[in-house]
Amino acid sequence: MKQQLIVTILGTDSLGILSTLAAEVGACQCNILDSRQAIYGQDFSLTMILEGSQSAITKAELVLPQVCQRHDLLSMMKRTSQHCKQSLVRLADVEFDGRDAVGVLEEITRFFADFAITITAFRQQTDKEPSSNTAQMHCTMVVSMPKDTDIEAVNQAFTNKLKDLQLTGTLTEKH
C-alpha cells in the first residue's frame, strides 16, 4: 500500500537546490505527487507531497533532513494519506482595496471558506494614505472554486460583503 509524506523545506535559495532535492526524493524511490514553491527575496519555501512504499517513505524521512542540514535548510515532515490533487478547473482573480482594519482579512477568508472556495495565492500591501494618514490595504488573491460553483451568486455575495466592510473590489473568473 502506498504511503504519503508532506515535506516542507525553507532556506536560502541557491542554484540547483530543487534539482538536488528532487534527485534525493527519486533516490528514495518516492514520487512527487504535487509541489508548490515560492521565492521571497533570497529565500525560498517548498512544500511537496511524496508517495511511495512504506520503506521508501521511511527512507525519505531519514535522508531528506540530512540533505537539508548539509545545505543549511530547515525541513518539516508529516505523514498523510488519501491526497487528492487540487482541482484547478475554476480559478478566479480577486482584488480588493480599502481602509485597513482589524478583522477584514478574517472576514474575507471566512467568506471564501463558507463557499468551499480555496485561496491558492494571497498578497497584501498596506500603505498610508497621504491626505488622511490612514492605513489603506490592497489585496490580491487567486482562488480555486468547485466545478459546480454558481459564480454569479458568489460574485453578488462577494460584492455585498465588500460593501458591508466598506471595501471595493472584484472577483473575476479566469477562462
Give tens-digit pLDDT for 49-73.
999 999 999 999 999 999 999 999 9
Same domain, 144 and 167: yes
Boundaries of domain holding 147: 90-173
CA atoms within 13 A on the CB side of 143: 29
The predicted structure's pLDDT at residue 34: 87
Residue 163, class by beta-carbon neighbours within 10 Å (0-12 exposed, 13-18 middle, 19+ buried)?
exposed
Residue 78 gets the label, from left (phi > 0), alpha (psi -120 to 50) or beta, of: beta
Residue 53 gets the label, from left (phi > 0), alpha (psi -120 to 50) or beta, of: beta
The H or E element that residue 153 is part of is helix 151-164
pTM for this entry: 0.69
Backbone phi, psi, residue 70, to 5°: -60, -30
| Chain segment 79-138, per-residue pLDDT in tens | 998 766 655 678 999 999 999 998 999 999 999 999 999 998 899 999 988 888 888 999
Same domain, 94 and 125: yes
3-state SS class at 170: strand
Q: And the C-alpha cell for 4?
A: 504519503
User: Which residue from 61, 65, 62 is spatially nearest to 74, judged by alpha carbons?
Assistant: 65
Give the separation between CA 10 and CA 94, rounded to whole angstroms: 28
The predicted structure's pLDDT at residue 129: 82
Residue 116 gets the label, from left (phi > 0), alpha (psi -120 to 50) or beta, of: left
Same domain, 59 and 133: no
3-state SS class at 56: helix
pLDDT > 90 fraction of the chain, expressed in percent and rounded: 75
Same domain, 106 and 40: no
The predicted structure's pLDDT at residue 88: 61
The predicted structure's pLDDT at residue 21: 93
Provide the number of structural domains found in the chain.
Answer: 2
Residue 8 has pLDDT above 80, yes or no: yes
What does the DSSP 8-state code read for residue 85?
P
C-alpha of 49 from chain center: 13
Which of the listed residues 32, 60, 80 is the one where a domain comes to its end? 80
Q: Are 6 and 31 in contact (CB under 8 A)?
A: no
Instruction: Determine, yes or no, domain membership for 85.
Output: no
Mean pLDDT, the chain, rounded, equals: 92
Instruction: Determine, yes or no, domain membership for 58.
Output: yes
Which of the listed residues 80, 105, 120 is the one where a domain comes to its end? 80
Instruction: Determine, yes or no, domain membership for 46.
Output: yes
* Band of pLDDT at residue 7, cut at 50, 70 and 90: very high
